[in-house]
Structure 1
Amino acid sequence: MNKKILIVDDDPRNIFALKLTLKARGYQTESCTMAQEAISVLQNDNQFQAILMDMMMPEMDGYQAIKIIKDIPSLRNIPIIAVTAQAMPQDRQKCLDAGAQDYVTKPIDVDKLITSIEKLT
């Protein structure tokens, strides 16, 4: 498979769980705990097949980060899956309006996440 996924989440426990889950399914992962760091990583390596973006982070939230990523021509085609504890219908739409291609809620349903990654990559 060899798909490379960037995980952006300010909670190391979430990163750990996602890395374990994705690695067990054959994905390569990298992670960042801050959105600005993720943008720098992406600018240096745009070979990611998808980005899992936590929407609620300090300093720069996922909404701002997605908009910045989508404004960078070399990055705009990388699918972004919003990951959030916000589960209201308007929250999903807000993520999509920001530029995410899909949306999963926490706690993450692994099957839904994998289906989303496979659909988008």
Structure 2
Amino acid sequence: MKKRILIIDDDPRNIFALAATLRAKQFDVASCTSASEALAKLKTDNAFDAVLIDMMMPEMDGYEAIPLIKEITPGRDLPIFAVTAQAMVGDREKCLASGADHYVAKPIDVDRLLSLLESI
């Protein structure tokens, strides 16, 4: 059975590239361009195997959204991957402290991401 991945990113180009890569590897992919849209989607569709969330978005960023995603999906071990261009000292720890299960820096190391997704 295909794993379902939800991509949350405000840049449609990032969604397009990541979704194309994941679909080529037999993942089922859905996407949202805002955290609020993703929260609404997760309230009605909780059949996702993982969430990839951009940490820097307007209105609501990943740091705010991750705890809300965890609230919507209590009791589920829904892996959340923080995807960010912020790769400075302390950024990984900040993402994980917000509740993310994994940290993936942009540009994305596709092989590493696929390996992480295969392990869920």
What TM-score does the superposition give when structure 2 sets the normalisation length? 0.95
What does residue 116 of structure 1 align with? Answer: 116
Give the letter aligned to residue 62 of structure 2. G
Aligned equivalents of 2:14 and 2:116: distance in 1?
Answer: 18
What does residue 31 of structure 1 align with? Answer: 31
What does residue 99 of structure 1 align with? Answer: 99
Structure 2 runs not aligned, ≥5 long: none
Aligned equivalents of 2:53 and 2:73: distance in 1?
Answer: 19
Aligned equivalents of 1:103 and 1:44: distance in 2?
Answer: 26
* CA shift for structure 1 position 75: 6.9
* CA shift for structure 1 position 89: 3.3
The secondary structure found in structure 1 opposite 2:72 is coil
What TM-score does the superposition give when structure 1 sets the normalisation length? 0.94
Deviates more, 1:64-73 or 1:6-15: 64-73
| 2:90 aligned with 1:82 | no
- Closer, same or farther in 2 for the Cα pair 1:75/1:108, shift >3 Å? farther
* CA shift for structure 1 position 72: 2.5
8 Å contact from structure 1 (residues 69, 75) kept in 2: no
What does residue 10 of structure 1 align with? Answer: 10
* CA shift for structure 1 position 90: 0.6
Structure 1 runs not aligned, ≥5 long: none
- Aligned residues: CA RMSD: 1.3
Aligned equivalents of 1:25 and 1:81: distance in 2?
Answer: 18
| 2:56 aligned with 1:56 | yes
| Fraction of identical pairs, as percent | 60
Q: How many residues align?
A: 120
